[in-house]
Amino acid sequence: MLRFVARRLIQLVPILFGLSILLFVWVRALPGGPAQALLGEKATPERVAAIEAQFGLNEPIWKQYLAFLGRIVRLDFGSSLQTNQPVVDEMLRRFPATIELAILALLIAVAIGIPLGYLAAKRHNTWFDGTSVALSLLGIAIPVFFLAYLLKFLFAVKLGWLPTTGRQDPRLDVAHPTGFYVLDGLITGNPAAAWDAFKHLVLPALALGTIPLAIIARITRASVLDVVNEDYVRTAEAKGLQARTVTRRHVLRNALLPVITVIGLQLGLLMSGAVLTETVFAYSGVGKFLADGLLKRDFPTIQAFILVIAVSYVIVNLVVDILYGLIDPRVRVR
């Protein structure tokens, strides 16, 4: 297993190297160049030349790339044009909010999607199966921002069950040692603050987790339908094994391989989907910060966010490969 993990880690090196090249090329492909993008409407030939000299954009392209690579290694993305603070500090301050939101959205998607897909497969061609398929199609088709507004209008405005915006009631005096508001309320001995933070999370997490839930349910249904017709499942049933044992050892263990892949990919999509969700609910995470940066042409923030999302995908794929090796030992020898 260690050799398998080491091999996957080595394979990450060219991937990350290629990622840095793509990001570098994208920066240079902006209309008017990076200096024009930074200055916006205030760009004049003199100011553009000054910015290019300040950031080394007038150097040979290979020198610019080496300097760019060095800044990435040092996690130096410059200062945000919105706050004039280092981008890394701004993202670290807001990342706990986005991670907290993505984790709850993924938990909702997995906790409902896998059982729903499994039950739909076991009740194939029944009303339950048809209803679950229709609902999953509806969940995939509805845009995240539209669903977010619907949930906000129904549960926050009309029923008043849940808060409309923010991460926590500003009237609460709560310390935040970790930045994860639910966890902070628990470790500081303030369950009321933890519960309030959780209530603020529910609606954004439901909106964000709907599309992953629908996709996971459909993939689980299709995967279980493929597995239940395999010879080894019929053989296990013919031997008189308990249905619970057949489900756990033979059906779910093999059906979960493609589901794990989908869950890993959806985790990366949750990070990018948080931009719309956090904007609708005024949720102060990285997504909201990026949305504000797009409006204000905050180029350093946009660049850092793209890199973080891309690296997140790479790391998630590594974790998925490791889980594959744990679930199916045959994968380790490939």
pTM of the model: 0.75
Task: Give average pLDDT by consecutive 10-residue segment, the chain, 334 residues.
Answer: 70 77 72 61 69 66 76 76 77 83 88 87 82 82 83 84 81 79 83 86 87 87 77 65 64 75 76 77 80 72 77 76 67 54
Q: Is 86 helix (H, G, I), strand (E, B) or coil?
A: strand
Buried b (16+ CB within 10 A) or exposed e, 52-70: beebebeeeeeebbeebee
Token pair belonging to 236: 């296990």
Please name each of the domains of the chain with its CATH number.
2-73 (no CATH), 88-333 (1.10.3720.10)
Contacts of 285 (CB under 8 A, 6+ apart): 94, 95, 97, 98, 101, 274, 278
Nearest C-alpha neighbor of 109 from the set 128, 130, 136, 145: 136
